[in-house]
Amino acid sequence: MSLVLKKAILDVKLYVPGRPITEVKRELGLEEVIKLASNENPYPPPPKVLQAIQRAARELNRYPDGNCYYLREQLAKNLKVNPKQLIFGNGSDEVIILAVRGFVNEGDEVIMAAPSFLVYEIASKIAGAVIKAIPLREDFSYDLSCMRASVSEKTKVIFLGNPDNPSGKYFTQKQMEGLLEGLPSSVLVLIDEAYYEYVGARDYVNSIELLKKYKNILITRTFSKMYGLAGLRIGYGLGDEEIISYLNRLREPFNVNSLAQAAALACLKDQAYYQKLLKEINEERAFLYQSFKKLQLEYVESCTNFILVKIKTKEASVVSQALLKKGIIVRDMSVWGLKNYIRITIGTKKENKKLITALEEIV
């Protein structure tokens, strides 16, 4: 090829998502397939959300509101923040990518856990950043003290998944304050809270409250997980007005489509439905824990809608392929460097029972 390619891009490993249900059905000739691989909500959005999408579909010939006005106003009201502190993206991934694009130059350093959400690494490598990957502790928790000690004059961003993917672990308010105290204000602390709606722990970080003291925080959240809008791709960032204004300069003019905006707004107005789903997810998590113990499978306790499970007798890839042949898609964690682990999304009661039956036969 005669074109001159950007060298940093050649070093990037492609993000490989969980396989779609339709693809597995077609390839293996299966009539029923369940997907427990991508941390999606197994339940569809409530009727009010679907109705909102139908109404919005009548105006698909028009460009969406680039400012997400109505969604912005409602979300700001719910979170008790200034609307100018919010930025919306095509999933929270886009907000993360915008932050890297805006704050990281070639040769700058970024700090992240290893393993962690793959988009942190992908976005940083494309920017030409030097990545300082800090291994998780033996219990899969973040080594925040080591992260803090790794900060140098070249550090521009620290990525924190809270709760983290793939471990499902969270860190506390006290731990977060310990990291932030004395940290140079030139370092952006990106707190990815994609799964925060699932966390019931009292000592979980109140990141919005921290924004009042620390101006170098950017919080990212999504409507893909708890709210079940993964197919519409919508998320948001929350931070100091100056940071948000800066990121908005990088944002594409119509990056969030009109159906996504209407659906997200309807989600915010139907909290009772999602509280009911949260109760069901918590009950199913307890069922899976109990089932894994009976199967003598080790697992990492999670505060999210997924569980990291250790496979002792076989490699994760062998077990995930065996499950696939039975019509169950799980996540082989080898790409994260976790050779003997699979990540299982918590499904419906019926899906979880089918998973356990299949694991009994395989393991």
3-state secondary structure of 157: strand
234-257 residue pLDDT tens: 999 999 999 999 999 999 999 999
3-state secondary structure of 132: strand
CB-based burial label for 252 (10 Å; 0-12, 13-18, 19+): exposed
Structure-token match 């919508």, residue found: 234
Q: At what angle do helices 349-362 and 271-294 cross, to 10 degrees?
A: 20
Percent of the chain with pLDDT over 90: 86
56-109 residue pLDDT tens: 999 999 999 999 999 999 999 999 999 999 999 999 999 999 999 999 999 999
157-169 residue pLDDT tens: 999 999 999 999 9
Give the list of residues 6+ apart from residue 7 with CB closer than 8 angstroms, or none. none
Range picked from 22-26, 32-36, 145-149 for highest mean pLDDT? 145-149
User: Residue ranges per domain, the chain?
Assistant: 7-44+272-362, 47-268
pLDDT score of 293: 97
Peptide bond into 115 cis (omega under 30): yes
The CATH homologous superfamily for domain 7-44+272-362 is: Aspartate Aminotransferase, domain 1 (3.90.1150.10)
Give the list of residues 6+ apart from residue 335 with CB closer than 8 angstroms, or none. 13, 16, 118
pLDDT score of 16: 66
HSE-CB of 92 using CA atoms within 13 angstroms: 23
Least confident of 29-38, 120-129, 148-157: 29-38
Question: Which residue in 240, 186, 235 sits closest to 210, CA to CA?
Answer: 240
pLDDT score of 335: 82
DSSP state of 37: S
Distance CA 154, CA 130 (A): 9
Q: How far is CA 73 from the centre of its chain?
A: 24
Task: Please state whether beta strands 109-114 and 155-161 pair in parallel, antiparallel, or not at all (unpaired).
Answer: parallel
Question: Which residue in 34, 102, 61 sits closest to 324, CA to CA?
Answer: 34
Q: How far is CA 313 from the centre of its chain?
A: 30
pTM metric for this prediction: 0.94
pLDDT score of 22: 76
Listing DSSP states for 55-109 in one string gives HHHTTTTS---TT-HHHHHHHHHHHTS-GGGEEEESSHHHHHHHHHHHH--TT-E
- 294, pLDDT greater than 80: yes
What phi-psi label fits residue 128: left (phi over 0), alpha (psi between -120 and 50 degrees) or beta? left
If one looks up domain 47-268 in CATH, what number appears?
A: 3.40.640.10
200-234 residue pLDDT tens: 999 999 999 999 999 999 999 999 999 999 999 99
